[in-house]
Amino acid sequence: MFTSGMSPAKTRGRPFTVIVEGNIGSGKTTFLNHFNRNAEVCVLAEPIELWRNCKGQNLLALMYEDIKRWSFTFQSYVQLTMLEQHTRKTSCPIKLMERSIYSARYCFVEKMLQDGLIHGASAAVIDQQFQWIRSYADVDVDLIVYLRTTPEVVYERMMQRNRAEEKSVSFEYLKALHDIHEDWLFHKTLYDLPAQVVVLDANLDKEGIIDEYRKCEPHILDKIMTNVKA
């Protein structure tokens, strides 16, 4: 399903850029793997390994252990690494990214602000950096794919995959993140949309979700020849 947003950014001179958004456990990695089979698509997974090893420091684990203490440090580094993803050069006509600088600011920093887990001054610094990046760096995107799930489904998936850093993540946290994603990408009442949104039902199992992914193929793969000609 399409929801309206800003007009797609110009694609001449850079790849057609798609950001894949959704809650923890919504199936973003599976979605990226579906399109990674195409040599014309540059797939950039969320840079989790960088967050786990910033000169030997596991910032992801530290953040989950003590969010209030490490929120500014972690989100500052997330913003930096996502900026690198947005601006990374590729010869492929299409770039497919797992999350973005937008969800880092609009969903995760927003959640920390709502919970009082990041000081207002720290959030202001991150936001000033974010606004500067939007003004002076090429972080335009052309399409947003929202993998829409229920909090119950993603909580069950998170428990099953059993990542060490996620053991402290509660259902309440996932529910709050779900609400923020809904307000931003579905109801469009929170912040702006940098591109049009395709909403997919990501509650489906692995067999059913493939058909849902295929609905996105024309919106993504049809841009290959367009960008090559451009």
User: Could you report the per-residue pLDDT of 51-63, keeping only the tens digit for each?
Assistant: 999 999 999 989 9
Encoding tokens for residue 69?
């203490």
Residue 126 pLDDT: 98
Q: What is the DSSP letter of 54?
A: B
- Active-site option among 21, 46, 98, 110: 98
Distance (Å, rounded) from C-alpha 78 to C-alpha 74?
6
Q: What CATH number is attached to the domain comprising 140? A: 3.40.50.300
Read off the pTM. 0.90
What value does the mean pLDDT take over residues 96-120? 96
pLDDT band at 65 (very low <50, low <70, confident <90, very high): confident
Residue 6 pLDDT: 38
Do 100 and 82 meet the contact criterion of CB atoms below 8 Å apart? Answer: yes
Domain count, the chain: 1
- Rg of the chain over all Cα atoms, to the nearest angstrom: 17
**C-alpha count within 13 angstroms, C-beta hemisphere, residue 160:** 9
Distance (Å, rounded) from C-alpha 48 to C-alpha 37?
21
Alpha helices in the chain (DSSP H): 28-35, 48-52, 59-65, 67-87, 101-103, 110-114, 120-136, 151-161, 171-181, 206-214, 217-221, 223-229
Residue 228: CB atoms within 10 Å: 10
Q: Does residue 49 surpass a pLDDT of 60?
A: yes
Q: 38: phi > 0 → left, psi -120 to 50 → alpha, else beta; which?
A: beta
Mean of the per-residue pLDDT values of the chain: 90
Q: Does residue 100 surpass a pLDDT of 90?
A: yes
Residue ranges making up the domain that contains 25 = 2-229
Q: 191: phi > 0 → left, psi -120 to 50 → alpha, else beta; which?
A: left
46 an active-site residue? no
What value does the mean pLDDT take over residues 15-32? 95
Residue 41 pLDDT: 96
Judged on CB neighbours under 10 Å (0-12, 13-18, 19+), 30 is: middle
